[in-house]
Structure 1
């Protein structure tokens, strides 16, 4: 029982990390109706910016405190993501207003490759580290219940707390603020939103900036855990099944979907993998997502789309 719970908790913690990336997909789709294939590139770009600024700023400003350097690096990286958001709206999305969804989808693919190349040009292509002081020592709990207790990764636990806080803040933002309601109106119909005076360009800058901030948080956590390398952008592929399960329009659904994927792939690898020769962890999420597409395309918490003729 103890081993099962350790595996389950480990899977849930990994699932929270998937959810952080999936949040970016949900935010942009919820507010603009665009499936953003550039989200993985945004995570990589933010991670590179954070890692390199934390190296450069102490040299440029003679900062001795690493904590101060990390805070300034985070602010600089966040500002850079806002600049990226403005450029995406100014030079790409602003030129494609009221175009077909496939056109916007292909535009995000172009943005992804551009950000990958620009990140390598500006920050280099080596492997870098991000150290923001997150606890890395294992934590043993429930010693009196299970022999030796349960082993929990404190870094994953901190990431889970950050993801839960982000979900709470973003849910309140979309439901309780005028800007959040405007974002949802833009997603429903670009032309109708413009006709009632909602500035489409400002809305898109806001949502891409928020998605960039979420990408930065995910980048810091993944960079602290794995180091900053170009394989980080591949994490986005695991976020695809997450948003399919949770629903493309649901912020809480991104978290629930991540938990299901994380726990499912870990448990299936341990208990079903030996029967199938191993490797199930690599494809479990995609098979599960395919099954959901067949029976519930909108996901667990997504909005059901009804077309009346």
Structure 2
């Protein structure tokens, strides 16, 4: 991430190119937050399970990719093998963890995802170790150069890996929306989200849908892991970044794909603006660690279902 000089404070507002730089940084972060949140939303819509393990899945996918390449496997073959690993992980979670817990209270399923998180942390550390690793961006053909634009006579620095991340994320979201709206399996996932019991009564296989959505969440985790790894390296510290998806979900709603996307973009840009224009001058900086959570809390005080979530009415 770029570091900015905050002297003098008034001059920053008078520099449109600086504002664009801040907004661009926030946009890239927000898109990656939104991708992680999409994994949460898909699993929750189809199974009513809040997947606490989505963050560690981002780390595990990225570590698997880097680890396979370190063993001498070519980069794009490593990507394919990593997708196979995420499919095996999805099948294993459905067979070993979720299927035996069908019909159990939601809190039991939530605790099961915490167990999956702890298992993947321990398993990952045994296989890959705990040190930081470098993402294989150049081997994947991801450009690492940067170029400079000169809007209003100033400077706007754009890194090509960030542009690539934005483009790939947009294509992934578009493909996901097409899949959910135009394919039979996608409509089955939506049906489970709209009316769980009715979907099961017409023969939709819960087990098949669970495997599918966990695998899709694994694909999203891999794309996010590559993008974040290109910016900050690959280690278990990425799990902390993945937790930024939680305020995105609180802001956008647990069941709304649109909310996940818009919520991620809002939090990414607003936290960057707050950090630069308010946090560093007046609060000593480091506001990015808590701003998103405070913003989500304020929204929940007025809209408990989130900005795009549906109000739930229970009759007793």
The TM-score with structure 1 as length reference comes to 0.91
Residue 214 of structure 1: aligned partner = 220
User: What is the alpha-carbon distance in structure 2 between the residues aligned to residue 137 and residue 303 of structure 1?
Assistant: 43
Residue 160 of structure 1: aligned partner = 166
CA contact (8 A) 2:259 2:309 kept: yes
Residue 312 of structure 2: aligned partner = 305
Shift of 1:182: 1.5
Residue 138 of structure 1: aligned partner = 146
CA contact (8 A) 1:245 1:292 kept: yes
Residues 52-63 of structure 1 aligned to structure 2 (within 5 Å): 52-58=67-73
Shift of 1:117: 0.9
Shift of 1:23: 1.6
Q: Quick one: which of 268, 285, 288 aligns to 2:292?
A: 285
CA contact (8 A) 1:248 1:302 kept: yes
Structure 2 unaligned regions, length at least 5: 1-15
CA contact (8 A) 1:51 1:128 kept: yes
User: What is the alpha-carbon distance in structure 1 between the residues aligned to residue 225 and residue 146 of structure 2?
Assistant: 22
The TM-score with structure 2 as length reference comes to 0.89
Paired residue secondary structure (1:151): strand
Shift of 1:298: 2.3
Residues 183-202 of structure 1 aligned to structure 2 (within 5 Å): 183-188=189-194, 190-202=196-208
Shift of 1:306: 2.8
Number of aligned residues: 297
User: What is the alpha-carbon distance in structure 2 between the residues aligned to residue 149 and residue 125 of structure 1?
Assistant: 38
User: What is the alpha-carbon distance in structure 1 between the residues aligned to residue 100 and residue 191 of structure 2?
Assistant: 20
Shift of 1:112: 0.6
CA contact (8 A) 1:46 1:81 kept: yes
Residue 232 of structure 1: aligned partner = 238
RMSD (CA atoms): 1.6
Residue 93 of structure 1: aligned partner = 98
CA contact (8 A) 1:33 1:188 kept: no
Residues 1-309 of structure 1 aligned to structure 2 (within 5 Å): 1-58=16-73, 69-133=74-138, 134-141=142-149, 143=150, 145-188=151-194, 190-273=196-279, 274-309=281-316
Shift of 1:191: 4.3
User: What is the alpha-carbon distance in structure 1 between the residues aligned to residue 163 and residue 255 of structure 2?
Assistant: 26
Shift of 1:217: 0.7
CA contact (8 A) 2:18 2:155 kept: no
CA contact (8 A) 2:17 2:154 kept: no
CA contact (8 A) 1:246 1:300 kept: yes
Rate the CA distance shift 1:200–1:305 in 2: closer, same or farther, 3 A. same
